[in-house]
Amino acid sequence: MKRTVTPIRLASPRWRSQPVAIGVIALACLVAGLLYIAVQVRALYSDHFQQQYASLVLEAVARADSALDAASLLKRAPPSKRPSDTTSNGVDKRYRQALDQLDTRITDLDALIGSSPVPAPRLPQADATVKSLDDLRQSLAATADYWHTRRDAISTDVRRRTLRVASVLAVLTVVVTGTLLAALVVFARRHRHLTGLTHRFQHAAQHDAMTGLPNRQQLLARLDGVAVGPAPEPCALLYIDLDGFKQVNDTLGHGVGDDFLVALAQRFRQSLRPGDLVARMGGDEFAALVSGYGGDAELVGIATRLMNCVGDTDARMGLGLVRASIGIATYPDRVADHRLLVAAADSAMYEVKRHGKNGYAFAIPPGSNSAPIPPA
């Protein structure tokens, strides 16, 4: 016989963003971006310094050009006829002074170029009296063109670096903002998850796991709120014990018993008023806390409805075994201390059991005598 093996499909793991991984990646991006910005800012300072230096060189070239123009004009001027205006070798004194001024400008310019932070072509060292003024003019023009080109290139580099820094800052802003948003989303999800867990823990601590009814702790807390609040009001506690329920577990099994308790809890909820509370005290015992009632007659009606709930549930499941004994204690007329209300109702319930079960009885106030009342 050929066997067919069905392949098992493994669920693909769902990727979940981890806050630590996101933080590490964002921190690495931030550090890298800051280092890049630091390098670019340092380069910008260097470019700014070179721009200023190029401007100084161009100003020195302009002063040398002015001195050269002055020397050229004096060279073309007619010579002075007065002996005092000429030197011993017959050179005009004003022209000689202009040449000396030009030599000073050329020397200052060459020294400035020699101190450049970046290597640059130097001026030829030659005496202005020997070197042709036209050649010197061409040399100054070439120097001016070089430094103009250099300053323009530096300006372009500054604009490019500034754009890079702005782009990196924009990216870092997006990364930091995205990281903060991701952290807020993770925090919100975890807060919501913890809130849900806290709510479930609180619900589990105050409710019966099987029936979903409030447990003894919640009933006692509700009783304290009603009887010890700013405006205490009369309240009554009906303590319910199921007669014959042990026989259901022993003969039919605990599964049937659990189904009975769950169905009975639902019937109890439906039979009580919206403001009343029904709780499972443990095992086959329940309690109903009633406030704002209109007297013993109304309490009797509530007890009767609860007993009918037990009988109807038993009939629906076809058991024929389970009935209820109910003890009723009221605060403050029958029980002066609300902390003794549960014990008083429990004692009244056991009084019903001693007199034949399947009935209800009020807690006996001090100095009175009454007997349990069986159902009609």
Fold of 216-362: Alpha-Beta Plaits (3.30.70)
- Sequence-distant (≥ 6) Cβ neighbours of residue 329 within 8 angstroms: 236, 237, 239, 335, 341, 342, 344, 345, 348, 362, 363
pTM for the model: 0.54
Question: Position 18: which residue type?
Answer: Q
Tokens 């002996």 sit on residue: 83
- Count of residues making up the chain: 376
For Cα atoms 146, 144, 133, give the angle at the middle one, nearest 5 degrees.
125
**Where are the domains positioned within the chain?**
19-77+88-178, 216-362
Structure tokens at 185: 């989303």
* Cα→Cα distances 181→21, 26, 28, 152, 190, Å: 15, 12, 17, 43, 14
- The rounded distance, in Å, linking the Cα atoms of 51 and 204 is 75
Q: Render 144-159 in DSSP notation, one character per residue.
A: HHHHHHHHHHHHHHHH
Question: Position 284: which residue type?
Answer: D
In tens digits, the chain (376 residues) has pLDDT values of 444 444 444 444 444 556 677 778 888 888 898 998 999 999 888 889 889 999 999 999 999 899 888 888 877 776 554 544 555 444 567 888 888 888 899 888 888 888 888 888 887 654 444 457 888 888 889 999 999 999 999 999 999 999 999 999 999 888 888 888 888 888 888 888 888 887 788 777 888 989 999 999 999 999 988 877 677 788 999 999 999 999 999 999 999 999 999 999 999 999 998 889 999 999 999 999 998 888 899 999 999 999 999 999 999 999 999 999 999 999 988 898 888 999 999 999 999 999 889 999 999 875 555 555 555 4
DSSP 3-state percent helix, strand, coil across the chain (nearest 5): 60, 10, 30
